[in-house]
Structure 1
Amino acid sequence: MFRVRIPGAAFYGSVAACAAVSVAAAFAPVVFAQGAAPAKPAPVDAKRGAQIAQEVCAACHAADGNSLIPANPKLAAQHPEYLAKQLNDFKPAEGEQQAHRPSAIMAGFAAMLSPEDIRNVAAHFASQTLAPAAATDAALAEAGRTIYRVGIAAKGVPACAGCHSPNGAGIPSQYPRLQGQYAEYAEAQLTAFRSGERANSEQMRTIAERLSDREIKAVAQYMSGLR
């Protein structure tokens, strides 16, 4: 029996083997490395929010959110999304030096709260019952009624009711509740929007800058008596 040695056969055999491995690898399932899934926020805890309200907020806003001081807003029954946004707006955004809603008082309190704390305290205040209020100047409130319900066409001022609803209840996740709010506080905020001091709503800045002092006072009076 003769054995014939073919030059290069071993080489070609090695190539064939490598090719087979390569083909098999090409069709093997590919597993991609994945980063850890982002942590889900903890469930909202209104009871914990009540504790925070008692410890941090009660002195100015009352534990149930029905402030007894006209310069400090009522927070009871306010939409939680709005409350959370305002607390976050008291803090400078990442990479910025100035908060969109600067406040020497509120900046310190907001800085103490974690994102979880903010959600919890917002849920607490949203669950409280709003104490009704009444306008203190009937004549101004009557003038404010027209602005709130109809707007001022000549100045391009839309009706407040279009966004905040006819009874001032607002629209959850979009526009805040205005009913029963202190007229003094509402007037101060509209004035701050007009001057640019409060810069966390371009929509409100545009509207407020078209209002006179008297018109701001009037609509603030009317809103305070809404229920």
Structure 2
Amino acid sequence: MIALLATLSLPACSPQAVPDGRNLGGDPHLGMAIAQAKCAACHGGAGADAAPGVPSLNEQYPEYISKQLAAFAAPRGAPNHRESAVMAPIARALTDRDRGDVAAWYAVNWRKPLKSRNPANVALGEQLFLHGHPQDDLPACAACHRADANGIRPDFPNLASQDPAYIEYELKNWERLRGHRGKLMSIIAPRVKPEWAGPIAEYLAGRASRPVQ
């Protein structure tokens, strides 16, 4: 599901400051213009935070972003379809090349660390994330998202320093929003009790995100 605590941070927010030795799957310089026109108002970007309750896409694996954009653009009933009245028209207006460029742009931008909304929940969230809850057949989120919560490229997203309201909402509504037969999270998410979603989200907000490698 949702995983050595990283302290590495990027000294600047522009793609020019980032080494080009990574496979980004697109051109971040082209993606910047698209993102600023179509994405930044909600998702932020270099030097700008995402809106409350909206995920930050910075330092996210580009393959994961491209995959989600394709899912928003997919027709209803398609195996990979994701439902969103906001995202669907935006994603459908992008070409495959556009999606790759936008994903590359966000991948090279620094994700700002966040403060937990409720620090009292962090200890419980840490326990659940790192160790799960065996009594309820809930595996550790870290098994797929790593102990530092930075995920595993390309399919397990970086959850570190992510908006806690967004994480909590996604966990509580996974099956309705994103559930598909055979998907790993569709097996795990229903085992996350509603009262656990907030603590997990609070814990993740305080983890340090690291640049895409």
Query: What does 1:52-67 align with in structure 2 at a 5 Å threshold?
Result: 52-64=34-46, 66-67=48-49
Q: Do structure 1's residue 134 and structure 2's residue 118 form an aligned pair?
A: no
From the superposition, tell whether residues 167 and 97 of structure 1 become closer, same or farther in structure 2 (CA, over 3 Å).
Answer: closer
1:111-160: per-residue Cα shift (whole Å, max 9, x none)?
11000000000000001111111212122111111000000101111111
Quick one: which amino acid aligns to residue 38 of structure 2? V
Which residue of the partner structure matches residue 46 of structure 1?
Answer: 28
Q: Is the 8 A contact 1:75 1:125 kept in 2?
A: yes
Q: Distance in 1 between matches of 2:157 and 2:146?
A: 10
1:66-92: per-residue Cα shift (whole Å, max 9, x none)?
534221110100000110111111122
Quick one: which amino acid aligns to residue 204 of structure 1? M
Q: Which has the higher contact order (CA 8 A, sep 6+)?
A: 2
Q: Scaled by the length of structure 1, what TM-score is found?
A: 0.75
Q: Aligned to 1:76, what secondary structure does the other structure show? A: coil
Query: What does 1:72-221 align with in structure 2 at a 5 Å threshold?
Result: 72-93=54-75, 96=77, 100-193=81-174, 195-199=175-179, 202-221=183-202
Which residue of the partner structure matches residue 12 of structure 1?
Answer: none
Q: Distance in 2 between matches of 1:64 and 1:88?
A: 23
Q: Distance in 1 between matches of 2:26 and 2:106?
A: 13
Q: Distance in 2 between matches of 1:110 and 1:65?
A: 23
Q: Scaled by the length of structure 2, what TM-score is found?
A: 0.80
- Cα displacement (A) at 1:46: 1.2
Q: Is the 8 A contact 1:73 1:185 kept in 2?
A: yes
Unaligned residue ranges in structure 2 (runs of 5+): 1-24, 209-213
Quick one: which amino acid aligns to residue 88 of structure 1? A
Query: What does 1:13-32 align with in structure 2 at a 5 Å threshold?
Result: none
Quick one: which amino acid aligns to residue 28 of structure 2? A
Which residue of the partner structure matches residue 7 of structure 2?
Answer: none
- RMSD between aligned residues: 2.0
- Cα displacement (A) at 1:45: 1.5
Q: Aligned to 1:221, what secondary structure does the other structure show? A: helix
Q: Distance in 1 between matches of 2:142 and 2:48?
A: 23
Q: Aligned to 2:173, what secondary structure does the other structure show? A: helix
- Cα displacement (A) at 1:50: 0.5
1:34-73: per-residue Cα shift (whole Å, max 9, x none)?
xxxxxxxxx7221110010111111111232853422111
Q: Distance in 2 between matches of 1:212 and 1:143?
A: 13
1:183-208: per-residue Cα shift (whole Å, max 9, x none)?
10001111221x33212572112111
Q: Distance in 2 between matches of 1:125 and 1:106?
A: 16
Which residue of the partner structure matches residue 20 of structure 2?
Answer: none
Which residue of the partner structure matches residue 6 of structure 1?
Answer: none
Q: Distance in 1 between matches of 2:59 and 2:137?
A: 31
Unaligned residue ranges in structure 1 (runs of 5+): 1-42
Show structure 1 runs of 4+ deviating over 3 A. Answer: 65-68, 95-99
